[in-house]
Amino acid sequence: MIKTVISAKPILALAATTLVGTVSMLAQASGEQKTLTGVVSDAMCGQTHMMKDKPDADCLRYCVKQGTKYALVVGKSVYTLEGHEAELDKYAAKKVTVKGTVKGEAVTVESVVPAE
Protein backbone atom coordinates (compact mmCIF):
# COMPACT_ATOMS: atom_id res chain seq x y z
CA MET A 1 0.00 0.00 0.00
CA ILE A 2 1.28 3.47 -0.91
CA LYS A 3 0.93 6.24 1.64
CA THR A 4 0.30 9.76 0.43
CA VAL A 5 1.80 12.46 2.56
CA ILE A 6 0.56 15.99 1.98
CA SER A 7 2.34 18.86 3.61
CA ALA A 8 0.11 21.50 5.21
CA LYS A 9 2.48 24.38 4.38
CA PRO A 10 1.74 24.60 0.64
CA ILE A 11 -2.00 24.30 1.29
CA LEU A 12 -1.89 27.11 3.86
CA ALA A 13 0.16 29.29 1.50
CA LEU A 14 -2.37 28.73 -1.29
CA ALA A 15 -5.28 29.52 1.03
CA ALA A 16 -3.60 32.74 2.22
CA THR A 17 -2.88 33.82 -1.36
CA THR A 18 -6.48 33.14 -2.38
CA LEU A 19 -7.79 35.10 0.62
CA VAL A 20 -5.58 38.13 -0.13
CA GLY A 21 -6.65 38.08 -3.79
CA THR A 22 -10.32 37.87 -2.85
CA VAL A 23 -10.06 40.77 -0.39
CA SER A 24 -8.25 42.84 -3.02
CA MET A 25 -10.94 42.10 -5.63
CA LEU A 26 -13.70 43.01 -3.17
CA ALA A 27 -11.99 46.31 -2.39
CA GLN A 28 -11.83 47.12 -6.10
CA ALA A 29 -15.44 46.06 -6.68
CA SER A 30 -16.77 48.28 -3.92
CA GLY A 31 -14.64 51.24 -5.01
CA GLU A 32 -12.41 53.61 -3.12
CA GLN A 33 -13.23 57.14 -1.98
CA LYS A 34 -10.85 59.58 -3.68
CA THR A 35 -10.37 63.23 -4.47
CA LEU A 36 -9.02 63.87 -7.97
CA THR A 37 -8.00 67.14 -9.60
CA GLY A 38 -7.94 67.42 -13.37
CA VAL A 39 -9.61 68.89 -16.45
CA VAL A 40 -13.21 68.07 -17.40
CA SER A 41 -13.29 66.41 -20.83
CA ASP A 42 -15.20 63.62 -22.54
CA ALA A 43 -14.38 59.93 -22.69
CA MET A 44 -13.96 59.88 -26.48
CA CYS A 45 -11.48 62.75 -26.80
CA GLY A 46 -9.72 62.48 -23.44
CA GLN A 47 -6.68 64.78 -23.47
CA THR A 48 -6.83 65.72 -27.16
CA HIS A 49 -10.06 67.11 -28.59
CA MET A 50 -10.83 66.15 -32.17
CA MET A 51 -12.59 69.37 -33.26
CA LYS A 52 -9.50 71.46 -33.91
CA ASP A 53 -11.51 74.47 -35.17
CA LYS A 54 -13.66 74.69 -31.99
CA PRO A 55 -12.86 75.41 -28.34
CA ASP A 56 -12.34 72.28 -26.20
CA ALA A 57 -15.55 73.02 -24.24
CA ASP A 58 -17.63 73.02 -27.46
CA CYS A 59 -16.05 69.76 -28.62
CA LEU A 60 -16.73 67.95 -25.37
CA ARG A 61 -20.33 69.22 -25.21
CA TYR A 62 -20.88 67.97 -28.75
CA CYS A 63 -19.40 64.55 -27.89
CA VAL A 64 -21.54 64.28 -24.75
CA LYS A 65 -24.68 65.09 -26.78
CA GLN A 66 -23.68 62.21 -29.08
CA GLY A 67 -23.66 59.82 -26.09
CA THR A 68 -20.09 59.96 -24.82
CA LYS A 69 -19.67 60.29 -21.04
CA TYR A 70 -17.94 63.14 -19.26
CA ALA A 71 -14.37 62.38 -18.22
CA LEU A 72 -11.68 63.79 -15.97
CA VAL A 73 -8.15 64.02 -17.33
CA VAL A 74 -5.64 63.65 -14.48
CA GLY A 75 -2.13 63.71 -15.90
CA LYS A 76 -2.10 60.89 -18.46
CA SER A 77 -5.08 59.10 -16.89
CA VAL A 78 -8.65 59.55 -18.11
CA TYR A 79 -11.47 58.70 -15.69
CA THR A 80 -15.05 58.29 -16.94
CA LEU A 81 -17.46 60.29 -14.76
CA GLU A 82 -20.94 59.21 -13.61
CA GLY A 83 -23.38 61.73 -12.13
CA HIS A 84 -23.48 65.51 -11.62
CA GLU A 85 -23.68 66.12 -15.38
CA ALA A 86 -25.08 69.67 -15.03
CA GLU A 87 -22.10 70.69 -12.88
CA LEU A 88 -19.65 68.96 -15.21
CA ASP A 89 -21.15 70.83 -18.16
CA LYS A 90 -20.70 74.11 -16.28
CA TYR A 91 -17.00 73.33 -15.84
CA ALA A 92 -16.43 72.00 -19.39
CA ALA A 93 -12.69 72.06 -20.25
CA LYS A 94 -11.84 73.65 -16.89
CA LYS A 95 -9.72 72.39 -14.01
CA VAL A 96 -11.83 70.95 -11.18
CA THR A 97 -11.58 68.84 -8.06
CA VAL A 98 -13.89 65.82 -8.05
CA LYS A 99 -14.72 63.77 -4.98
CA GLY A 100 -16.21 60.35 -5.55
CA THR A 101 -15.94 56.59 -5.58
CA VAL A 102 -13.28 55.26 -7.95
CA LYS A 103 -13.70 51.80 -9.50
CA GLY A 104 -10.94 51.15 -11.99
CA GLU A 105 -11.11 54.03 -14.47
CA ALA A 106 -14.66 55.10 -13.55
CA VAL A 107 -15.69 57.64 -10.91
CA THR A 108 -19.14 57.97 -9.37
CA VAL A 109 -19.13 61.71 -8.68
CA GLU A 110 -20.20 63.01 -5.28
CA SER A 111 -19.06 66.62 -5.74
CA VAL A 112 -17.39 68.90 -8.28
CA VAL A 113 -15.74 72.23 -7.43
CA PRO A 114 -13.38 74.53 -9.33
CA ALA A 115 -9.75 73.69 -8.61
CA GLU A 116 -7.74 76.26 -6.70
**pLDDT-flagged residues of the chain (< 70):** 1-29
- Within a domain: 40: yes
Nearest Cα residue to 92 out of 58, 65, 52: 58
pLDDT at 30: 74
- Within a domain: 50: yes
- Within a domain: 41: yes
pLDDT at 23: 43
- Within a domain: 3: no
CATH of the domain at 91: 2.40.50
What integer best gives the mean pLDDT of the chain?
A: 84
Q: Which domain holds residue 74?
A: 32-114
- Within a domain: 6: no
Domain count, the chain: 1
Q: Taking the model in full, what pTM does it have? A: 0.73
- Within a domain: 7: no
